[in-house]
Structure 1
């Protein structure tokens, strides 16, 4: 009996490594069949086509900055946390998205042409034809180059709640904070400002520049906490050569562009070329934003991973309130990226 037990035990110990190897091979096959999962976070480098607009409103004014063309092709580098799958088709993650932009167009209202049917009215026309002619003049906005530009960056840290899972299409939405930096100028096309400048130009140079300073203060351009150098020069345009220094300051920021206003100021003989360009730039509001947005949102549709590549269609943006103005960014991008998972 003792020899029989020894034979059974020796047979078991000899066969055990074979069973263990077979089990480990099955586990490896199962693990190989499952797609890799993000354990901690992922870095998502890629390429995207992005369209950006900024709606600016406040102090009784409004303007919309945009870019030339449908969008800009740029690199993308997002960070994303590991997915926490609540159920099979619901989950959450944390997304850090950042980008830069350059806007050199504005949406303006297109003036009706003289021979346009909507510009004339006939007493004998029927009510039906009158209503059809009134529609084209409503919300008729076009892109135009007003010698304005705005550039900057934004970063959004958004907790995302999504429907789906990493192996399917995902529909996600989230709200979170953002950091926004913008610098440039915008033309509010305010006729009151132009009239005030034209009337004040009848006085001497010092008086005219003091009136320009007052208009800049009323427009919210003088804010020492944002840009003390710009605020000092704007508040003291009539002193010394501050107007010329302001022109050099604008030039260093890429904000000077020759236009009809600059040519008109230069033709008077009272202003140098740099001063004329500076005056032309003062017809536009200066924008200098370096702020943390309390509110930003993102809505996206993401594809499952194919050959290590994912696609994403996204809409969202931050909202910043600064110095009496509200800046609403609207970003729309199509991205293709390769997750590098850790």
Structure 2
């Protein structure tokens, strides 16, 4: 009897625990909720094939060109929201997640640029201690570039997680325009070279050969090289003026001072097209195209609700006809991934 009554409370407690456990609802683990973005397959791992990144970006691009006899650093006129804000339309493949916190994908970036200022060396002052100045030399370089980059990243898979990534690949570049390879004194040096000739034909030949050596034949144009080497022969000067007009190689290079200077120096012996030709070669032509530029890109991106914020820098660089061209872009983007 003592054993029976002493065991009764224990048995009743076990029955109560069993009833309570049976009355509790069975909960199943839930998948983390994805952010609201456009996705065709709604795959929690991210895009099944590729992602498109439409949005806006604030981007600033510099173009550094180093030639055999000089260099030109082309910069933008000013960094402002109105001038530097452009559409973003990058494209990337799906993620190949190689570990819990790292993987890779292939990224296609497309950038356009317009640079109308040059950074030249000046005497340091109290206001300008670095000795550099961004000025207008009536030069202009514009163009586009596209990069195809295998990118390795740190972060989890999918478009819902922050990323730190670095890519290195190839780029296609198309740039054209003019630059001063004499650190801002191209007009002065050309005037000195022109006036050093003993005869009028010598003056023209000296200027043509000096221009060929110092102010650019980056595209290796054999026709232009021939004309500059034999500028006073026959009607080569006139042909150079016509060739510059037809090829658009004089973009941004015409200065009223340059034209008036050569018009006065010719003393009526040159027609307007020939004077125009002399004024165009006062600056270097930097037309260049390549599909084999080395390219790099470093970035950090962070999801913020339905959009992604990204900051990054990089660009293509290559060597062509003894000229080294380096394009560097700093950008801050805001876009919405579209997964397919």
TM over 0.5: yes
Segments of structure 2 that go 5 or more residues without pairing to the other structure are 1-27, 36-41
What displacement does 1:105 show?
Answer: 0.3
Which residue in the other structure is 2:233 paired with? 239
Does 1:139 pair with 2:138?
Answer: no
Q: What is the root-mean-square deviation of aligned Cα atoms in Å?
A: 2.9
Structure 2 CA distance for aligned equivalents of residues 57 and 290 of structure 1? 16
Trace 1:230-269 onto structure 2 (pairs within 5 A). Answer: 230-252=224-246, 253=248, 254-268=251-265, 269=267
What displacement does 1:171 show?
Answer: 0.8
* Partner of residue 143 from structure 2, selected from 140, 152, 158: 152
TM-score by length of 1: 0.75
Trace 1:78-227 onto structure 2 (pairs within 5 A). Answer: 78-111=90-123, 139-165=130-156, 166-189=159-182, 193-194=189-190, 197-204=193-200, 206-219=201-214, 221-222=216-217, 226-227=220-221
Structure 1 CA distance for aligned equivalents of residues 259 and 62 of structure 2? 28
Structure 2 CA distance for aligned equivalents of residues 294 and 193 of structure 1? 32
Structure 1 CA distance for aligned equivalents of residues 289 and 299 of structure 2? 26
Structure 1 CA distance for aligned equivalents of residues 72 and 235 of structure 2? 32
* Partner of residue 79 from structure 2, selected from 52, 56, 70: 70
1:174-209 Cα offsets, whole Å, 9 max, x none, are 1111111111111022669436523345412x3322
Structure 1 CA distance for aligned equivalents of residues 147 and 78 of structure 2? 24
Contact kept in structure 2, 1:179 and 1:293, CA below 8 Å: yes
Q: How many residues align?
A: 292
Which residue in the other structure is 1:281 paired with? 280
SS in 1 for 2:232: coil
Contact kept in structure 1, 2:62 and 2:76, CA below 8 Å: yes
Contact kept in structure 1, 2:180 and 2:215, CA below 8 Å: no
Which residue in the other structure is 1:5 paired with? none
Segments of structure 1 that go 5 or more residues without pairing to the other structure are 1-25, 119-135
SS in 2 for 1:239: coil
SS in 1 for 2:287: strand
Aligned in 2, Cα 1:328/1:155: closer, same or farther, shift over 3 Å? same
Which residue in the other structure is 2:50 paired with? 41
What displacement does 1:277 show?
Answer: 3.3
Contact kept in structure 2, 1:265 and 1:271, CA below 8 Å: no
Which residue in the other structure is 2:23 paired with? none
